[in-house]
Amino acid sequence: MQSRVMLGLTLATLAALPAAAQTAPADVVFNEGAIETSLTGAPGDAAEGAKVMASRAMGNCVACHVVTAMPEASFQGNVGPALDGAAGRWSEAQLRGIVANAKMTFDGTVMPAFYKTEGYIRPGDAYTGKAPTGPLPPILDGTQIENVVAYLMTLKD
């Protein structure tokens, strides 16, 4: 019994750790649109980032951007520029800033802010048609943002 309580506490502590290590959306510091340091304090995983970008349920970046290196992602859109060669045009810090909140780089862009919880208009509580009562969770968490940035850094030409 005692050991089960201890195990529960240990698991709860472990579950809380990654979240605590991430920079919260409201604490992110933008420097002319760029975010200098990793939101998680660790480098991202490019292969995981590719999944986030291609997934309709997550980043869905390909709905607006062509990524030639991702031929398996169907129905790529051209609302935004092709991301081919993005790492040659932007630094890692600039790409992190664009993915977290593109409005800090491109004034008035239609690109969603993926790491933001308040201060803009978003659909309300899912499908209820009611305005949200508090801050909404960001579309992507810090780990997913870092994974996407790691993938974008592979798009050199």
Closest to ligand HEC by CB, 6 or 89: 89
Candidates 11-19, 31-39, 79-87, 128-136; binding stretch for ligand HEC (CB under 6 A) = 79-87
DSSP 41-97: SS---HHHHHHHHH-TTTT-GGGT---TT-TTS-S---SS---TTHHHHS-HHHHHH
Of 92-111, binders to ligand HEC (CB under 6 A) are: 95, 98-99, 102, 106, 109-111
Closest to ligand HEC by CB, 43 or 81: 81
Distance CA 157, CA 144 (A): 23
Q: How far is the CB of 155 from ligand HEC (least distance, A)?
A: 8
Given the structure tokens 């520029």, which residue do they identify? 81
Choice from 34, 50, 53, 93 touching ligand HEC (CB under 6 A): 53
12 near ligand HEC, judged by CB under 6 A? no
Per-residue b or e along 67-105, where b marks 16 or more CB atoms closer than 10 Å to that residue's CB: beebeebeebeeebeebbebbeebebbbbbbbbbbbbbb
For residues 110 and 79, the answer to whether their CB atoms sit within 8 Å is yes
Of 110-129, binders to ligand HEC (CB under 6 A) are: 110-112, 114
In the complex, the residues that contact ligand HEC under the rule CB under 6 A are 53, 59-61, 63-65, 79-81, 83, 86, 89, 95, 98-99, 102, 106, 109-112, 114, 148, 152
